[in-house]
Amino acid sequence: MYRLLDRITRGLASADELAELESLAAMVRDTSLCGLGQGSPNPVFSTLRYFRDEYMAHIDDHVCPAGVCKMEPREAAVAAGEGAR
């Protein structure tokens, strides 16, 4: 989940990776044997519920609406092999 969130905040992720993040968070919640593991993806679910538009701005528009994330230039990411999968 960390790697997917990192790619999103750097502006390198695709919509498919956002779906992968949601799926992975659900799997962690559903398959954890203890309450701590079951609750660990709650911040992801909460931010997706209330701030999905900001996730989409990072992915589609390559911009951080809050001005907090350091977005990598798309050309540099693609040249380094980190572009969208």
**pLDDT beyond 70 at 79:** no
Average pLDDT, stretch 35-51?
95
Residue type at position 22: E
Q: What is the CATH number of domain 2-79?
A: 1.20.1440.230
Q: What region does 41 belong to: left with phi over 0, alpha with psi -120 to 50, or beta? A: alpha
Contacts of 21 (CB under 8 A, 6+ apart): 1, 4, 5, 8, 44
- State the pTM of this model: 0.80
Give the pLDDT band (50/70/90) at residue 76. Answer: low
pLDDT digits (tens, 9 = 90+) for 46-72: 999 999 999 999 999 999 999 999 888
**pLDDT beyond 90 at 83:** no
What is d(CA 58, CA 41) in angstroms, rounded to the nearest whole number?
20
